[in-house]
């Protein structure tokens, strides 16, 4: 009887200890974007860095493919995810109650750090003679799904160019992963994609039988956009990544930065741990994707318009970056 009592007591202690350990473990989810873009693999890389230290931080991260920046901001504010990748322009608009959040500032939105630059990319079928923004009139153009950054960028560009997407063209709202096939099949004439380069969807479209071309955004339109929205800046699409594209040189356009955001409700220790692991492993991130090769401590602190989360701020102060 004494032996049985001892066994039962030991079992209770072991079970209770395991239950306590499980209760202490934190789980976080990062919202990214489509699987063909840079957001999803970047989220996966950050997740692997954090999960490799789960015994240190008692933290487990998962990654979710989502509709993009607008979706991620809303999911963060609703508490559906703990981290999200958000274009710098939409971070600014969300926190200040502009654009999609007109009159509804998302005051709990917090910034962590930036990752890669993103170019607003317009890819068109060469046989449709689309050589300029004006040539998109009368065409079938995919501007991106509602909740995506490229849709917001496309609408901003059309406004600056005096083009109505409702009256002047046939606007579609499909994911970039489907857009390349639809362009090759002749179901659309062009599509927008705000993304780091090189990109899988763009490579798929360029490799098809139908010849394609990048549509340039002229300097005067870029200047107009940057004057009205300070988060926009000139950018270039490097054609060296895309053999077979009709363009003869790198293509001028405008761009933003991809940023990692969170909510003020997420615990400081969680954000501190994730920020620390990322900044101490920048070399590993650079190897993940050519779009991330430009990462540096300095440029990862650019493009942040929402307040820094206290956890990120704590690490930056500790590392002498603030």
pLDDT at 36: 77
Q: How many C-alpha atoms does 207 have within 13 Å on its Cβ side? A: 8
Contacts with 234 (C-beta within 8 Å, 6 or more apart), sequence order: 219, 222, 226, 252, 253, 254, 255
Q: Quote the crossing angle between the two packed helices 310-318 and 268-279, to the nearest 10°.
A: 40
CATH 1.20.1050.10 for domain 118-256: no
Residue of 259, 270, 282, 262 whose CA lies nearest to 315: 270
Place of tokens 């079970």: 15
Average pLDDT over all residues of the chain: 90
Q: What residue spans define the domains of the chain? A: 24-116+258-318, 118-256
| The pLDDT value given to residue 12 | 42
Look at residues 243, 253, 131, 150 and name the one whose alpha carbon lies nearest to residue 189: 131
Task: Give the percent of the chain with pLDDT over 70.
Answer: 93
pLDDT for 54 equals: 92
pLDDT at 74 over 50: yes
Band (322; pLDDT cuts 50, 70, 90): confident
pLDDT digits (tens, 9 = 90+) for 123-170: 999 999 999 999 999 999 999 998 788 899 999 999 999 999 999 999
pLDDT given for residue 204 in this prediction: 92
The CATH H-level (homologous superfamily) assignment of domain 24-116+258-318 is Periplasmic binding protein-like II (3.40.190.10)
């Amino acid at each position: 009887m004494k032996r049985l009592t001892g066994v039962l007591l030991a079992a209770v202690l072991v079970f209770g200890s395991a239950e306590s350990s499980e209760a202490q473990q934190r789980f976080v989810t990062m919202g990214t974007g489509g699987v063909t873009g840079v957001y999803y693999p970047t989220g996966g890389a950050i997740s692997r860095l954090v999960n490799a230290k789960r015994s240190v931080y008692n933290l487990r991260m998962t990654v979710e493919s989502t509709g993009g920046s607008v979706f991620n901001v809303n999911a963060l504010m609703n508490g559906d995810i703990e981290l999200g990748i958000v274009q710098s322009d939409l971070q600014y608009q969300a926190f200040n109650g502009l654009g999609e959040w007109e009159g509804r500032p998302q005051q709990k939105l917090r910034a962590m750090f930036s990752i890669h630059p993103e170019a607003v990319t317009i890819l068109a079928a060469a046989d449709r003679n689309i050589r300029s923004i004006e040539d998109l009139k009368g065409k079938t153009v995919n501007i991106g799904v509602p909740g995506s950054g490229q849709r917001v960028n496309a609408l901003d560009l059309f406004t600056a160019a005096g083009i109505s997407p409702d009256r002047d063209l046939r606007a579609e709202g499909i994911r970039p992963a489907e857009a390349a096939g639809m362009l090759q099949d002749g179901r659309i004439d062009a599509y927008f994609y705000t993304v780091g380069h090189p990109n899988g969807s763009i490579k798929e479209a360029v490799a098809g039988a139908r010849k394609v071309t990048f549509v340039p955004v002229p300097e005067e339109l870029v200047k107009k956009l940057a004057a009205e929205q300070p988060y926009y800046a000139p950018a270039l699409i490097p054609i060296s990544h895309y053999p077979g594209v009709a363009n003869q040189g790198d293509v001028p356009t405008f761009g933003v930065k991809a940023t990692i955001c969170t909510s003020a409700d997420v615990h400081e220790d969680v954000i501190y741990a994730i920020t620390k692991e990322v900044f101490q492993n920048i070399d590993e991130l650079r190897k993940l994707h050519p779009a991330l090769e430009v990462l540096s401590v300095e440029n990862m602190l650019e493009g942040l318009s929402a307040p820094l989360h206290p956890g990120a701020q704590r690490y930056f102060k500790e590392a002498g970056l603030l």
